[in-house]
Structure 1
Amino acid sequence: MQSRFQTLLFATLFASTGLVCAQDLTILPAPADAWRITVGHWDAQVELTGDGVAAPPPKAEYARNAYAGASARSNNGRRDALLFDWRDLWQSTLRVESRSPLDLRPYAGGTLEFDLDVSELSHGGLSVKVGCGSGCERGVNLIEPARSWTGKGWQHVALSMSCFARQGADFSAVTLPFALEGTGSGRVSVANVRIGRDAKPGLACPDYRTESVTPAMLNESWSIDWWLPRHKEKLEEKRKLLEAGTPPQIVFIGDSITQGWEKEGREVWQHHFAPLHGLALGFGGDRTENALWRLQHGEIDGIAPQAVVLMIGTNNTGHRAEAPETTAAGIKRLLDEIRQRLPKAQVLLLAIFPRGEKPDDGQRQLNQAINKLIAGYADSRSVHFLDIGAALLQPDGTLSKDIMPDLLHPNERGYEIWQRAMAPTLQKLMGQTP
């Protein structure tokens, strides 16, 4: 939720300029050449210079039939509205960019407003973004309200500009005052986009300072259909283990990298952890708050494993470029939840795996900063920290696609390395002889 602190933070980021904004910043309607409008995806962005344009499809074979396009509704040389159309894409964008940097600081306590007409979003998601400095963009997820507006005509949207503020953001030279990001498939129109100086009632947005520690289901277009059913399947898997008299001796908690024990790492799992009746509670896309929701809804209740392996946080990094301290707080909250529900288990807290090809990859550096913080959570009694990142890297610090083909998720060889690097510590924690 928005808070007085956020408003003050945004004012601090924007203030002390001596500038007075005489009027709202109008983005639409506007002359055709007023803004640089582009549409596309991770592989290509194309500019809308006429009435309509489509981006070339992504290069990946699985996305060759995907589509992202935009068109403009114009009147006397002015663009009144934009249509954004996308299909079968995990990420697509409609971006309205300024041809010269804008100083948005005078809009500290203001509101981003626009009208939205949702034609189709049953298999898609939508968020709105505003730039916050070089390489910085902040978004607000609109999937729930936007889906509820499908087929209902134009809806007015208002969001406090504080929704797009974070500590360290710089709004003095913004080139992206407005963007829509679509996932899956969808079709929406947008009009009457403006940033006003005055605060107005509008949609709530998460407090970035507490998002990582606030339990929540994973609410993305690509997760809605399977996330909660998978949670229920894991509850049933646990029930069957207990009913068979083979309660899990080891539990893994995490995101898609942990879920990979059921796919790329399946053979390794069957050999080393299936004999321990292991329970793999990995969910693709999960951030710390999503794993916390799952734990609070029964996934580790009623069992008493000898060991719990926890690794999570890379999606906090990748999804919202979260400050290391915030992600670390989410991991600490998970440890507290595990200790409360499984007081006798030994917890092996793993450092987040390296990601990106080179050591200077921005997201890898964020993960390393998180790892330095969470290492301090180990107490050598019930919580133990282990960093196996070096075992996954080449001597020069690069990450090989022979181990992580997408530079994030291990393949079978990667899971073999993970198991070997972890084995001595796990054997010790579980009272086994190496």
Structure 2
Amino acid sequence: MIGARGLRTLALSLAAVSSPAFAQVDLPGDPYARDPVGIVADPCPSHPKPSDGAGWQAWKLHMLTRDFGQLCRYQAQNREVLASGKPVRVVFMGDSITDNWIGADCDLFTDGLVDRGIGGQTTAQMLVRFRQDVIALKPRAVHIMAATNDIAGNTGAATMATVQGNIETMAELARAHGIKVILASVPPAAAFPWSPDKRPVPQVRALNAWLHAYARRNGFVFVDYYAALATKDGAMKPGLASDGVHPTPAGYAVMRPLALAAVRTSIGER
């Protein structure tokens, strides 16, 4: 029979043996196997963009296990913004719908409006990078459009309360740093091509009702893209999305005046 002291010794020994197996992923042929881990000066080595399905799967595994928030994506651009000395008026934080926006309407992201969307991200991932990609840039306001990928299950399962809590935490962090908050509705989607078993309409509507109420309670600006983009059944209107989820240039053209109106309401400019 092992005494208390012996149990403590055994537990420490097991932790020392087993921790590395849980901390890192080591697969044969992993192109990222030699990337730095732990606390290092430069955690973002350069890699060529994957060119095939297997390459993208390896990249996804790398991202989920070694750069969950994808802090490396905008690290260099953030340094450039800060070095320029130009003021940042609004950071647009979001997923692919925000990420793709600058490509469809690059003129929107000028004069201090900065795009920090990353395709595929959930609210948990955005929260990880919120300090680096929003707070550190010292914007006057942040535009948060999130939760499409939480509903799709991109990083696994989560409760509605968890998703709402992630959004609340981002908003509270912004307010604590004197950054005004613009909360955007979740855009409409009747289905997700990459997650075909999901039926997102009820959850999108529930989240949007919560977002609207939360914004009103806290004095945040709420911008309702859903109302402008959705059919009565909760799908994207014809012609406004390429796959039922991601806006086309026509979809972004509908969103642009709503975004600018929200910016004007929030900071009184443009």
For the pair 1:385 / 2:222, whether they are aligned, the reply is: yes
Asked if 2 retains the 8 angstrom alpha-carbon contact of 1:238 and 1:279, the reply is: no
Asked if 2 retains the 8 angstrom alpha-carbon contact of 1:313 and 1:352, the reply is: yes
Q: 1:254 aligns with which of 94, 112, 129?
A: 94
Equivalent residues in 2 for 1:268-307 (5 A)? 268-270=105-107, 272-274=108-110, 276-296=111-131, 298-307=132-141
Higher alpha-carbon Rg: 1
1:130 is aligned to none
Q: 1:334 aligns with which of 170, 174, 180?
A: 170
- Structure 1 pair 246/422, CA: closer, same or farther in 2 (3 Å)? same
1:348 is aligned to 182
Asked if 2 retains the 8 angstrom alpha-carbon contact of 1:310 and 1:348, the reply is: yes
Q: 1:421 aligns with which of 252, 258, 269?
A: 258
Q: How far 1:417 moved relative to its partner?
A: 0.9
Alpha-carbon deviations, 1:56-76, whole Å to 9, x = none? Answer: xxxxxxxxxxxxxxxxxxxxx
Q: How far 1:407 moved relative to its partner?
A: 0.8
Opposite residue 139 of structure 2, the aligned amino acid is P
Q: How far 1:232 moved relative to its partner?
A: 3.3
Aligned residues: 218
Opposite residue 335 of structure 1, the aligned amino acid is A
TM-score in terms of structure 1 length: 0.44
- Structure 1 pair 150/226, CA: closer, same or farther in 2 (3 Å)? closer
* Higher strand fraction (1 or 2): 1
Alpha-carbon deviations, 1:133-184, whole Å to 9, x = none? Answer: xxxxxxxxxx987x52549xxxxxxxxxxxxxxxxxxxxxxxxxxxxxxxx5
Q: Which runs of 5+ in 1 are unaligned?
A: 1-142, 152-183, 187-218
Q: How far 1:399 moved relative to its partner?
A: 2.0
1:160 is aligned to none
Separation in structure 2 between the aligned mates of residue 348 and residue 388 of structure 1, nearest angstrom: 12
Asked if 1 retains the 8 angstrom alpha-carbon contact of 2:88 and 2:113, the reply is: yes
Opposite residue 287 of structure 1, the aligned amino acid is T
* Overall identity of the aligned pairs, in %: 24
Asked if 2 retains the 8 angstrom alpha-carbon contact of 1:309 and 1:348, the reply is: yes
Separation in structure 2 between the aligned mates of residue 282 and residue 260 of structure 1, nearest angstrom: 8
- Structure 1 pair 229/315, CA: closer, same or farther in 2 (3 Å)? closer
> CA-atom RMSD, angstroms?
3.4
* Higher helix fraction (1 or 2): 2
- Structure 1 pair 329/148, CA: closer, same or farther in 2 (3 Å)? same
Separation in structure 2 between the aligned mates of residue 255 and residue 335 of structure 1, nearest angstrom: 16
Q: How far 1:430 moved relative to its partner?
A: 2.0
Asked if 1 retains the 8 angstrom alpha-carbon contact of 2:185 and 2:226, the reply is: yes
Separation in structure 2 between the aligned mates of residue 381 and residue 374 of structure 1, nearest angstrom: 11
Opposite residue 428 of structure 1, the aligned amino acid is T
